[in-house]
Amino acid sequence: MATYNIAVLAGDGTGPEIMTEAVKVLGAVEKVYDIKFNFEHALIGGCAYDEFKTPLPESTLKLALSSDATLLGAVGDWKYDTLPPEVRPEKALLGIRKGMGLFANLRPAIVLEELVNSSPLKPEIVSGVDIMIIRELVGDVYFGEPRGIEVKDGKKIGFNNMIYTEDEIKRIATVAFETAMKRSKKLCSVDKANVLDVSRLWREIMIETAKEYPEVELTHMYVDNAAMQIIRAPKQFDTIVTGNIFGDILSDEASMLAGSLGLLPSASLSNDKKLAMYEPIHGSAPDLKGKNVVNPIATILSAGMMLKYSFDMDSAYNLIETATKKVLQAGYRTQDIMSDGCKLVGTSEMGTLIANEILNK
Ligand code: IPM
Ligand code: MG
């Protein structure tokens, strides 16, 4: 029987609640397929700081590096807001991404037909949207040096460095073109090449890489225009590739096409998918902690992406996606996607409904 070791990093806030549901659904997948998951839990974020005085203990990174895949819930809580920046929970997220070399972040924004009415946008605009945002995850202004806050001539200045090397752009370009080849062969590279030198290099390397993929139609869009077009006419996009900070912003924006941040999964991959981490794109929502109200679907679908990308179990991914759609078709909703005439359920009920749907398939 195939056995996979999964590092489970539930994190802070509502992270543990949504992770429980993802593990529940994977338990159902185990029963349907001849497969075994060994889940090993470790601390990350604020809870790790409480225990070890660091948000990313070495033992956690080691576990992630030695597992077949890593599942992450979410990190952060207001009670850590006053901590120095180097030990804040977010630092752990950036640290584990960097430590595992997860440069390619895949963030699909798919509008499920069952939920077209959950989006704040008109149904005819969002119905049928299926975008794959590929965000570079370990470079850009997030990691660029020099950085800091200094005093010059008696005044404080804050600065970060938006920087990409040719090689960093090339490897994310390759992932993007490969992904576009498996989709509708349309790739839109988002940059700010009218202003930023780093974006001019970005564009140059994208154009160069396009020569290796003559079948892919490459277009370029400035990030401000892309932010507008994603709302105005999202169906014009298929695969989008962009840098770390633009991808951070555009993926939150794209989640609103689907109706809720609680629906969007993500995969973060290293070279050749050797290492991978799967997490919902949303945060830890500490205000909702312990209330059994958050939507576990983004985390459940992230577990689905793990089956697809790390273990090549496309059919198991489809099984999870279909089960989720069926539960939504039956009218069950968590509060973030609730609409008239639907049945309101909590986090754990939603997980159980999806798991049961898988078992009864
Ligand atoms: C995300 C988040 C993180 C990021 C934060 C929590 C550091 O917004 O995964 O999109 O900016 O990458
Ligand atoms: Mg973000």
Per-residue pLDDT of 143-176, as tens digits, reads 999 999 999 999 999 999 999 999 999 999 999 9
Give residues (CB < 6 A) around ligand 1.
Answer: 90, 93, 248, 281, 283
Is 79 marked active-site? no
What is the reported pLDDT for 200? Answer: 98
320 with 343, same domain: the answer is: yes
Question: Is residue 115 assigned to a domain?
Answer: no
249 with 138, same domain: the answer is: yes
Question: And the tokens for 274?
Answer: 């050797």
Question: Is residue 218 assigned to a domain?
Answer: yes
Is 224 marked active-site? yes
Give the count of domains, the chain.
2
149 with 48, same domain: the answer is: no
Q: Which of 351, 337, 344, 338 is nearest to 297 (CA)?
A: 351
- Nearest-CA residue for ligand 1 atom 12 is 248
What is the reported pLDDT for 361? Answer: 79
144/123 Cα distance (integer angstroms): 40
53 with 20, same domain: the answer is: yes
The CATH code of the domain that includes 218 is 3.40.718.10
Is 192 marked active-site? yes
- Supply the range of the domain harboring residue 153: 120-258
Question: Is residue 265 assigned to a domain?
Answer: no
Residue 88's identity, in one-letter code, is R
What is the reported pLDDT for 259? Answer: 86
Asked if residue 123 has a cis previous peptide bond (ω within 30° of 0), the answer is: no
Task: Kindly state the average pLDDT of the residues 272-294.
Answer: 95
149 with 219, same domain: the answer is: yes
Residue 306 predicted with pLDDT over 90: yes
230 with 282, same domain: the answer is: no
Residue 14 predicted with pLDDT over 90: yes
Per-residue pLDDT of 68-93, as tens digits, reads 999 999 999 999 999 999 999 999 99
Task: Kindly state the average pLDDT of the residues 15-37.
Answer: 97
What is the reported pLDDT for 272? Answer: 85
Percent of the chain with pLDDT over 90: 95
Residue tagged 């010059």 (tokens) = 152
User: Quick one: which H or E segment has residue 174?
Assistant: helix 166-182
Question: Is residue 220 assigned to a domain?
Answer: yes
Among 103, 137, 248, which residue has the most ligand 1 atoms within 8 Å of its CB, making it the best to mutate? 248
| pTM confidence score | 0.95
196 with 308, same domain: the answer is: no
Per-residue pLDDT of 138-148, as tens digits, reads 999 999 999 99
> What average pLDDT does the structure give for the chain?
96
Q: At what angle do helices 297-309 and 15-32 cross, to 10 degrees?
A: 50
Q: How far is the CA of 249 from the centre of ligand 2 (A)?
A: 6
